[in-house]
Amino acid sequence: MTSLRVSLLLLVLLTVSYASARKLSGNTEEAMVDEPVVSVVSALPKGSQAMQIRCKRDGSAAAVIDQALSAGQGCSWAATKKALYRCEAVWARKFAAWEAFQPSRDAGQGRVLWRVTEEGFFLRVNGTGWVRKAVWETE
């Protein structure tokens, strides 16, 4: 339960920093449509091994995110609204791949929020709930 509280607090902080950045840009509406922000938060058990995450734009070799996330930590990037972004994650002996930003699914969203737990990868839908979109796999 504590891990969930930490991840939700981090999610709120990411949302506030996102809103602040948009206000500083001067053109809030245009920025939200042109550059949605994708955020991934680790809600894995406290004290467990860090999750390695790597995300990149479809067709690009360069990663937009390539880092280790401990429980309660998160990362974010601005997505190009018409580009697909895929992520891969490794945690302990588990791995997963998912589409973190899909233009057809996420068009018009100012932010796309992901929560990673032992049970999988959950997308925030309509600001009210979480829907599992991917699960951890093992060899």
Residue ranges covered by each domain of the chain: 2-134
DSSP string for 30-64: HHHHHSPEEEEEE-PPTTSPPEEEEEEETT-SSEE
Residue 2 is predicted with a pLDDT of 55
Residue 10 is predicted with a pLDDT of 46
Residue 25 is predicted with a pLDDT of 41
Q: What is the mean pLDDT of residues 71-94?
A: 97
- Nearest C-alpha neighbor of 114 from the set 10, 21, 5, 28: 10
Rounded Cα–Cα distance for residues 98 and 105 (Å): 13
Q: CATH number for the 2-134 domain, one of 2.40.50.90, 3.60.10.10, 3.30.56.10, 2.60.40.10?
A: 2.60.40.10
Residue 20 is predicted with a pLDDT of 42
Using the predicted structure, report yes or no on whether residue 5 has a pLDDT greater than 60.
Answer: no
